[in-house]
Amino acid sequence: MTQQATCDIGLIGLAVMGENLALNIASRGYSIAVYNRTTSVTDAFTSGRGKQPTVVGCHTLADLVAALKPPRKVMMMVKAGPAVDDLIKTLTPLLTKGDVLIDGGNTLPSDTDRRTREVEAAGLLYIGTGVSGGEEGALKGPSLMPGGSPAAWPLVKPIFQAIAAKVGPQGDIPCCDWVGPRGAGNYVKMVHNGIEYGDMQLICEAYWLLKHGAGLTNPELAQVFAAWNRGDLDSYLIEITRDIFTAKDPDTGAFLVDLILDKAGAKGTGKWMSQLALDLGVPSTLVTEAVYARCLSALKDARVRASQVLQGPDMANRGDKAEFVEQVRQALYASKIASYAQGFVQLAAAAKEQDWPLDYASIAMMWRGGCIIRARFLDRIAAAYRAKPDLENLMLAPYFTDALAKAQQAWRHVVATAATIGVPVPAFMSALAYYDGYRHANLPANLLQAQRDYFGAHTYERTDKPGTFHSEWLDLRKPVT
Ligand code: 2AM
């Protein structure tokens, strides 16, 4: 079948995200050619949800390329990893100089770095874009975080900004802008996912405290989350949590949430963020605690056995219920600020290492709508970075410094209560420890350096004079009486 070059963009991979993105693109007035490795999937789509004059089904990659207007734009929505490299290899000889290859998967930023260089060396342009918002976002308006070859951006910008979620008073600010060169878009998406891990873990800890500490029922929890969603915590994740506490299982009539096995899964982007934070030497403790909390949850059988052996206190908190709910809200808000602060610090460290000129206010606005971490609070983050583009840490922006100062008493009370009644709140605790660690001009690392120098001659610096020092600790030590 010979195609006429009439389509604005091509899309490969018709799993649910690919299908929905294709329908979104078609709904904005663009014509789109689609291809899937398994042909029956393409045919099912083009005779079903994709049965539209502007959606053209293709059975070969050559047909797909032939259907596109130059400069051609081909978006790959396939499984991240070797499948993307295979496709690039097959597509490269079919394309011409100046055409654009786009990867919309959750790709490791270093893979996009490499592919950008390889594809550019072949005379083509490359984009690795974050796509967030799940199935519904893909269909109605995702958050898009593109990075790669800067020359590709003007070519895809109209389509990307047309299909992205919109925010702002007039609903006309697209949650999509150019992030930066090479893997910058995928890195921003990875940090988005890591922050999402932290947000979800914090919400789960708040739930457990309210359930076991304050004895709240599911309908009461729904009310609490509904109220929280009207204030500073207003966000998609708080909103869906509210709804989850109202949902009943059609078969048993019980609350569905109570029937779900407490064993969490993960696809790996949170783990990547933790691993890369360790490589950079920045403390992204919230995402790391969230990843570990999922690992611990997965040890269900071991926990069931241990629950018969290991002892703990009575989990009930005897204080005033309404007061405790408000304290948990404040602890959640403060922890969330610390978590986002860590995410932006990691972005800045990666940007410095990779030489990416990142615009943090713009990144906050890309996350303002469409994606899973969308929240009103991102307006404040954008404002903080607009006021001070080189802000060292979000916690130092006056608005957030003040918010943390106001919340800290409740935050400390909640963490102390959790420790006393034995409710595990690793993310709340880790967030508070980060806040307390960061705000101290002095930490006990003087002792740590002494220990390192004592056993390993690792040397230390001094506070009273410059230079590097080593001491003969065995000679200096005195008997302790
Ligand atoms: P399939 O329907 O033929 O399996 C998510 O897995 C999507 O990625 C699916 O559309 C799948 O196509 C596609 N996919 C996975 N591996 C691929 C590969 N090596 N080449 C092309 N498409 C691939």
* pTM of the predicted protein model: 0.96
Question: What backbone phi and psi angles, to 5 degrees, belong to 28?
Answer: -95, 15
What is the 12 CA–ligand 1 centroid distance (Å)? 8
Q: Residue 118 CB: number of other CB atoms within 10 A? A: 15
- What kind and span of H or E run contains 129? strand 125-132
Q: Which residues does 445 contact at the CB level (< 8 Å), separation at least 6?
A: none
Q: Is 87 in the pocket of ligand 1 (CB under 6 A)?
A: yes
Q: Is 41 in the pocket of ligand 1 (CB under 6 A)?
A: yes
Of all protein residues, whose CA lies closest to atom 13 belonging to ligand 1?
78
Which entry of 89, 118, 166, 189 is annotated as an active-site residue? 189
What is the 13 CA–ligand 1 centroid distance (Å)? 6
Q: Residue 297 CB: number of other CB atoms within 10 A? A: 16
What is the 37 CA–ligand 1 centroid distance (Å)? 6
Class of domain 189-439: mainly alpha
Identify the three-state secondary structure at position 198: helix
- Residue at 387: amino acid letter: A
Across the strands, what pairs with 173? 167
Q: Which residues does 113 contact at the CB level (< 8 Å), separation at least 6?
A: 182, 183, 354
Q: Is 148 in the pocket of ligand 1 (CB under 6 A)?
A: no
What is 282-321 written as a DSSP string?
---HHHHHHHHHHHHHH-HHHHHHHHTT---------S-H
Q: What is the pLDDT along the chain (481 residues), one digit of tens a residue?
A: 556 899 999 999 999 999 999 999 999 999 999 999 999 999 999 999 999 999 999 999 999 999 999 999 999 999 999 999 999 999 999 999 999 999 999 999 999 999 999 999 999 999 999 999 999 999 999 999 999 999 999 999 999 999 999 999 999 999 999 999 999 999 999 999 999 999 999 999 999 999 999 999 999 999 999 999 999 999 999 999 999 999 999 999 999 999 999 999 888 899 999 999 999 999 999 999 999 999 999 999 999 999 999 999 988 877 899 999 999 999 999 999 999 999 999 999 999 999 999 999 999 999 999 999 999 999 999 999 999 999 999 999 999 999 999 999 999 999 999 999 999 999 999 999 999 999 999 999 999 999 999 999 999 999 999 999 999 999 999 999 9
Instruction: Please confirm, yes or no, whether 135 is among the known catalytic residues.
Output: no
Cα 10 to Cα 266: distance, rounded to the nearest angstrom: 30
Instruction: Please confirm, yes or no, whether 352 is among the known catalytic residues.
Output: no
Q: Is 190 in the pocket of ligand 1 (CB under 6 A)?
A: no
What is the 61 CA–ligand 1 centroid distance (Å)? 13
Pocket test for ligand 1, best of 12, 14, 20, 37 (most atoms within 8 A of CB): 37
Cα distances (Å, whole numbers) of residue 234 to 59, 134, 373, 382: 45, 19, 11, 16
Of all protein residues, whose CA lies closest to atom 20 belonging to ligand 1?
83
What is the 79 CA–ligand 1 centroid distance (Å)? 6
Superfamily for 447-476? 6-Phosphogluconate Dehydrogenase, domain 3 (1.20.5.320)
Q: Is 104 in the pocket of ligand 1 (CB under 6 A)?
A: no
Q: Residue 305 CB: number of other CB atoms within 10 A? A: 11
Instruction: With both helix axes pointing from N to C terminus, report the angle between 321-354 and 377-387 in degrees, rounded to the nearest 10.
Output: 40
Cα 397 to Cα 343: distance, rounded to the nearest angstrom: 15
Instruction: With both helix axes pointing from N to C terminus, report the angle between 184-208 and 236-244 in degrees, rounded to the nearest 10.
Output: 40
Name the token pair of 16: 């649910």
What is 381-407 written as a DSSP string?
HHHHHHH-TT-S-GGGSHHHHHHHHHH
Q: Which of 251, 144, 169, 205 lies closest to 417 in space, CA to CA?
A: 205
The CATH number of 9-182 is 3.40.50.720
What is the 29 CA–ligand 1 centroid distance (Å)? 26
Of all protein residues, whose CA lies closest to atom 6 belonging to ligand 1?
79
Q: Which of 134, 72, 71, 75 lies closest to 104 in space, CA to CA?
A: 75
Of all protein residues, whose CA lies closest to atom 22 belonging to ligand 1?
37
Which entry of 19, 196, 205, 289 is annotated as an active-site residue? 196
Across the strands, what pairs with 248? 255
Q: Domain spans of the chain? A: 9-182, 189-439, 447-476
Please report, to the nearest 10 degrees, the dihedral formed by the alpha carbons of residues 280, 281, 284, 288 taken in order. Answer: 90
Cα 139 to Cα 164: distance, rounded to the nearest angstrom: 10
What is the 36 CA–ligand 1 centroid distance (Å)? 7
Q: Is 37 in the pocket of ligand 1 (CB under 6 A)?
A: yes
Pocket test for ligand 1, best of 19, 34, 79 (most atoms within 8 A of CB): 79
Which phi-psi region, left, alpha or beta, contains residue 479 (left: φ > 0; alpha: ψ -120 to 50)? beta
